[in-house]
Amino acid sequence: MSKKSLSEISCQDDYDPNSMPVSQARDFIRDYLTPITETETLPLKLVLGRILAGDIVSPCNVPNHNNSAMDGYAFHSHDAAANSLEIIGTAFAGKPFDGVVKTGECVRIMTGAVIPSGTDTVVMQERVLTENNRISMTEVPKPGANVRLAGEDLKQGETVLPQGRSLRPSDIGLIASLGIGEVTVYRKLRVAFFSTGDELISIGQPLQEGQVYDSNRYTLHSMLSKVNLDILDMGVVPDDPQRLEQALIDASRQADVVITSGGVSVGEADFMKLLLEKLGQVVFWKIAMKPGRPLAYGKVGNAHYFGLPGNPVSVMVTFYQFVRDALLYIMGQQNLQPQPLLQVICTEDIRKLPGRTEFQRGILYTDEKGTWRVRPTGNQGSGILRSMSEANCFIVLDDDTGNLPAGTKVQVQVMEGIL
C-alpha cells in the first residue's frame, strides 16, 4: 500500500490540527518517513551506535570446542562413584591436554580449557580433597556439569544480530567473538538545525533588554550528539521571511533532516506556514500535550522537516517524544520499542488539567525503606529549563487524568538512556 501524502493526512476525518493526540501524531509521522538505504563498511571499533545494514550470520560455533566453566578436575561421569581418581595431567586455556583419560583417571583443568578426550564432567576444585596426586570428591557433580558445550553461545549459520539493529557494546563484542572485523552499516544521517527568533542572540554578545541567549541550539546540538549522526549547526535566523527561506533552502539541500526551533506558535506560524507551503509540504499541529503544543512536520525539498516550539523545555520534550525515534527510524533502526513506563507512587500532589498528555518533570528517588518514589520538580513552566536539569524522569500523565493527590501511582519514563 502506498504511503498517505501529507495533504491526505490533513484531510482525514479524525484529523483535528487543534488537538492532535500524541500517539496519533507519532503514527502520522511514522507513516511518512523513509529509512535511508545507502551503506558503508567500517571496522568494528567505529560502529558503536550505528545501524546494521544486513544480518550478522555466525561463520562458526562459539565456543568452538567443549570447555570447562570452572577451575577443577575433568573426569568421566561413569567414574562418579570411584573412591579416588589419579591426576594424570593439566589442561590450560589455550593449551589442551592431548592424552586420553582412562577409567580411574582425571585431569586438572582451568576455566576455558578444552575438555580432554575421555572426560565429560568437571568437578570444582573446592569440592575435592587432593592427596598423593589423587583426588576424592566431597560432592559429586551431575554428569556433564561445569562443561560449556561447543555452539552453546552461537551456532554456525545462526543469525546472531538482525539487520536494523542499533549496535551496542555487547553486540560489538559478539561480532568480534565470531572473528568478524568489519561490518556494513547504514550511512550516517545528516541533520541540520537552526533557531528562529528576533529576540535571540548568540553567546559572546552582551544581552540587551528583551533579548535571550539562544540556548535551544545548544540543547538540540547535545540531544543530537547522543544519536549517532552528522550535525550541521546553522545558527540563529531572525523572524524575517527572506532569511528564513534562504536558511530552509540551504539546510534542506545539505541534510536529510531539518530541525528548527521557534516560529511555529500561533501568530508566528502564519508566515512560516506560507513559507513552508512554498518550499515543501508541511502540516502544523497543536498537539494535545504539555509542554510542546505546537509542532510542524513535513518535507522541505527532499529533507524531512520538524518545526519544534521555541520554549526550551518544549524543545526537549518534543524532541524526545517525536524526533528522536523518527531519526532512528530514518537511520534504518528496526523494532523500535517505546520507552518503558514504570508505575511509581508520587509523594506530592500533582496539578493537571484533563484533555492533554503532560510530561511533567520528576525526580525518582528511594525512600528510607529503599522503595522507588517520584516527586515533581517545582515550577513546571515550559520556559523553566532548570526543571529538565533537576529531573531524572518524566511523569507521564494521560489525557484523562486531572489533579492527583499525593500517594497516587503515576507512570514514569526514566530519562537515563535517552538524555
Q: Which residues of this chain interact with ligand AMP, rule CB under 6 A?
A: 195, 197, 199-200, 212, 214-217, 261-263, 265, 268, 309-312
| Least distance (Å) between residue 199 CB and Mg ion | 7
Decide: is 262 part of the binding site for Mg ion (CB under 5 A). yes
The three-state secondary structure class of 154 is strand
- Residue 311 binds which one of ligand AMP, Mg ion, none, with CB within 5 to 8 A depending on kind? ligand AMP
| Least distance (Å) between residue 267 CB and Mg ion | 9
How many whole angstroms separate alpha carbon 183 and alpha carbon 55? 10
Q: Which stretch binds Mg ion (CB under 5 A): 190-198, 223-231, 280-288, 350-358?
A: 190-198
Residue 280 or 309 having the CB closest to ligand AMP = 309
The three-state secondary structure class of 254 is helix
| Least distance (Å) between residue 257 CB and ligand AMP | 18
Q: What DSSP string runs through 267-332? A: THHHHHHHHHHHHEEEEEEEBSEES--EEEEEEETTEEEEEE-SSHHHHHHHIIIIIHHHHHHHTT
Q: Which residue is nearest to ligand AMP (CB)?
A: 310
Q: Could you say which DSSP state residue 262 is in?
A: S
- Residue 146 binds which one of ligand AMP, Mg ion, none, with CB within 5 to 8 A depending on kind? none
Residue 126 or 270 having the CB closest to ligand AMP = 270
Residue 141 or 197 having the CB closest to Mg ion = 197
Distances (CA, A) of 389 to 195, 219, 223, 236, 261: 21, 11, 13, 23, 19
Instruction: Tell me which H or E stretch contains 250.
Output: helix 241-254
Residue 228 or 314 having the CB closest to ligand AMP = 314
CB 190 within 8 A of CB 258: no
CA dihedral 395, 399, 403, 407 (to 10 degrees): -50
Decide: is 307 part of the binding site for Mg ion (CB under 5 A). no
- Residue 212 binds which one of ligand AMP, Mg ion, none, with CB within 5 to 8 A depending on kind? ligand AMP
CB 191 within 8 A of CB 256: yes
Residue 293 or 324 having the CB closest to ligand AMP = 293
How distant is the alpha carbon of residue 319 from its chain centre? 14
| Least distance (Å) between residue 190 CB and ligand AMP | 21
**Diameter over CA atoms, the chain:** 93
Decide: is 197 part of the binding site for Mg ion (CB under 5 A). yes
Decide: is 332 part of the binding site for Mg ion (CB under 5 A). no
Decide: is 294 part of the binding site for Mg ion (CB under 5 A). no
- Residue 312 binds which one of Mg ion, ligand AMP, none, with CB within 5 to 8 A depending on kind? ligand AMP
How many whole angstroms separate alpha carbon 388 and alpha carbon 219? 11
Residue 217 or 361 having the CB closest to ligand AMP = 217
| Least distance (Å) between residue 216 CB and ligand AMP | 3
How many whole angstroms separate alpha carbon 324 and alpha carbon 100? 59
Question: Angle 290-316-28 (CA atoms, 0-180°, nearest 5)?
Answer: 70
Cell numbers placing 72: 577443577
| Least distance (Å) between residue 247 CB and ligand AMP | 14
Residue 71 or 199 having the CB closest to ligand AMP = 199
Residue 164 or 294 having the CB closest to ligand AMP = 294
| Least distance (Å) between residue 195 CB and ligand AMP | 4
Which residues in this chain contact Mg ion in the complex, by CB under 5 A? 197, 262, 310
